[in-house]
Amino acid sequence: MSTSATIRPATAVNPLKTLSKYGQSVWLDYIRRSLIASGELHRMIEEDGLGGMTSNPAIFEKAITGSTDYTEALLELQSPKDLDAMAIYERLAIKDIQDAADFLRSVYNRTN
């Protein structure tokens, strides 16, 4: 006599999300424009339980000089405007920070 049993695949639990049960919040010490534009940041928030991000000038320097993410924006900021290096940096960084904050708003709302 044979019996057929329904075999259900085990649901994988994301260990990063599990950390919140222990009062821990995962933060990313990194930012880059393509992380935001590609949807990867959104995925990390939803699937990995990302709770926040930090950054500093050195992280932005690596993002700006180590990718082509900022090429178009740099060209636009260099055109007729009379901006020094600090003003250009601030415009790039502030835009990325604002865009990341928009995605992280759901975390803020959820965690009060």
Per-residue tokens: 23:
């009062």
- Quick check: is 69 in a domain? yes
- Quick check: is 9 in a domain? no
Residue-level pLDDT at 7: 67
pLDDT for 18 beyond 60: yes
Per-residue tokens: 45:
């928030």
Residue pLDDT, tens place only, 57-103: 999 999 999 999 999 999 999 877 789 999 999 999 999 999 999 99
Work out the mean pLDDT of the chain and round it to a whole number: 89
- Quick check: is 66 in a domain? yes
- Quick check: is 46 in a domain? yes
- Quick check: is 12 in a domain? no
Residue-level pLDDT at 82: 84
- Quick check: is 5 in a domain? no
- Quick check: is 3 in a domain? no
Burial category of 81 from C-beta neighbours within 10 Å (exposed 0-12, middle 13-18, buried 19 and up):
exposed
pLDDT for 1 beyond 60: no
Number of domains in the chain: 1
Share of the chain above pLDDT 90, in %: 69
Which of 9 and 26 is assigned the larger pLDDT?
26
Distances (CA, A) of 69 to 5, 41, 74: 52, 15, 10
- Quick check: is 7 in a domain? no
For residues 42-69, average pLDDT: 94
Domain span holding position 56 = 17-111
Which of 23 and 9 is assigned the larger pLDDT?
23
